[in-house]
Amino acid sequence: MITQDKKKELGKIALQLRYDLLEMIGVGVAGHLGGSSSLAELMAVLYFNKMNFSADHLKDPARDRLVLSKGHAALIQYAALCEKGCFSREELKRVKSLHGLLQGHPDCSIPGVEAVTGSLGQGLSIAVGMALAQRLDKSPARVYAIMGDGEQSEGQLWEAAMAAANFKIDNLTAFIDWNKVQATGATKDIFNIPDLDKKWSGFGWNVISANGHDIDSIIDAIEKAATVKGRPSVIILDTIKGKSFSFAEGNPAYHNGIFTKEVYQQALKELDLIKARLS
Ligand SMILES: Cc1ncc(C[n+]2csc(CCOP(=O)(O)OP(=O)(O)O)c2C)c(N)n1
C-alpha cells in the first residue's frame, strides 16, 4: 500500500513519461507511441516505487533488473531512465539519430539498460538467466521482464517459461502488456492466443491479473508476486494501447505511426488536460 500523496506523485510521473514520449517522437518521424504509452504507469511504479534502482549505483550487484522484452517500446524506458537521472534531457532530443545515445531499441551502452532487446521473444530467456545468476550469488535482487501480448506467439518465450518453472525461479516477475493490439491489428485476429492466464499457469507460473493503468492495482500485484515462493510469477496487465491519446487508443496505426503537426498538437493538448486534472 502507498499513501495518496505517493499515488498522486506516481500518476504525475506517468504523465511526464508520456510528455517525454511526445518530445522524442516529434513530428514527421515514425515512433512507437502505442505500446510505449500502455506501459507508462508500470514504468512509473517500477522505477519510482518498486525497484531498487539508482542512477548513482548502476552497477550495484544488488540492483533490481528490468528487461524490456518488447524492446520496440524503448522510448518509455528511455523516458523513465532520463527522469531517474541516467542521462541528460538533451539525449531525448537526439533519440534515434546516429550521433545520439538512444537508439530505436534498447542497448546496453545506454546507462540503466540491462539487455539488448527488440527481436521479440528473447527477453524472458535473458531474464531467466539473470534471475538464476542472482540466486547463485544469494543476491536479494529481483528481475522484471516486460513482454507484449503479440509477443506471446514467439516460441522461445515458452521455452524460457518452462525453464523458469523447472528451476523454481521465484525472484523473477514477468509482465504481459495485454493491450490487445499488435503491430498491424488486433492480436486476436493476427495470432489468437486465448486463455493466456491458463497457459501460463499450465506452464507452472503463478498468474496475477491487474489493471495496468491503476497505480494501486499494479503495486498490489507486484507485492503479491514477491511473496510467492518456488515458482515465477507473471502479471497480466489489462492495458490500452496508446493510452491517454484519444486518436491512438486501440488504434494499430499508432503502433509506430507518424505525427502530423496537427495530431502532435492534439496529443499535447490531451496531456495538458490530464495535467490540469492532476494538479
Ligand atoms: C522476432 C520479431 N518478429 C517481428 C518483429 C516486428 N514487430 C515489432 S513490434 C511487433 C508487434 C508486437 O506486438 P505486441 O507484443 O503486442 O507489442 P505492443 O502492442 O504492446 O507494442 C512486431 C511483430 C520483431 N520486433 N521481432
Q: Tell the burial category of 28 from Cβ atoms under 10 Å away from its Cβ (0-12, 13-18, 19+).
A: exposed
Residue 73 Cα to ligand 1 midpoint, Å, equals: 9
> Measuring from each residue's beta carbon to the nearest atom of ligand 1, which residues come in under 6 Å?
34-35, 38, 70, 72-73, 118-121, 148-151, 177, 179, 181-183, 187, 241
pLDDT at 176: 99
* Mean pLDDT score across all residues of the chain: 97
pLDDT reading at 215 higher than 90: yes
Residue 173 Cα to ligand 1 midpoint, Å, equals: 21
Query: Which residue matches cell numbers 507511441?
Result: 33
Q: Compute the average pLDDT of residues 84-105.
A: 96
Closest residue to atom 22 of ligand 1, CA basis:
183
What percent of the chain stands above pLDDT 90?
A: 99
pLDDT reading at 259 higher than 90: yes
- pTM for this one? 0.98
Among 84, 51, 45, 83, which Cα is nearest to 211's?
A: 45
Q: Tell the burial category of 56 from Cβ atoms under 10 Å away from its Cβ (0-12, 13-18, 19+).
A: exposed
Rounded distance between C-alpha atoms, residue 36 and residue 70, angstroms: 10
pLDDT at 1: 78
Cross-strand bridge partners of residue 235: 175, 208
Q: What is the pLDDT of residues 29-44, one digit of tens each?
A: 999 999 999 999 999 9
Q: Compute the average pLDDT of residues 100-105.
A: 96
What percent of the chain stands above pLDDT 70?
A: 100
What is the pLDDT confidence band of residue 156, given thresholds at 50, 70 and 90? very high
Query: Which residue matches cell numbers 499494479?
Result: 218
Q: Let me know how long the chain is.
A: 279
Q: Crossing angle, helix 155-166 and helix 123-136, to 10 degrees?
A: 20
Among 256, 239, 274, 225, which Cα is nearest to 42's?
A: 239
Closest residue to atom 17 of ligand 1, CA basis:
148
Residue 258 DSSP symbol: B
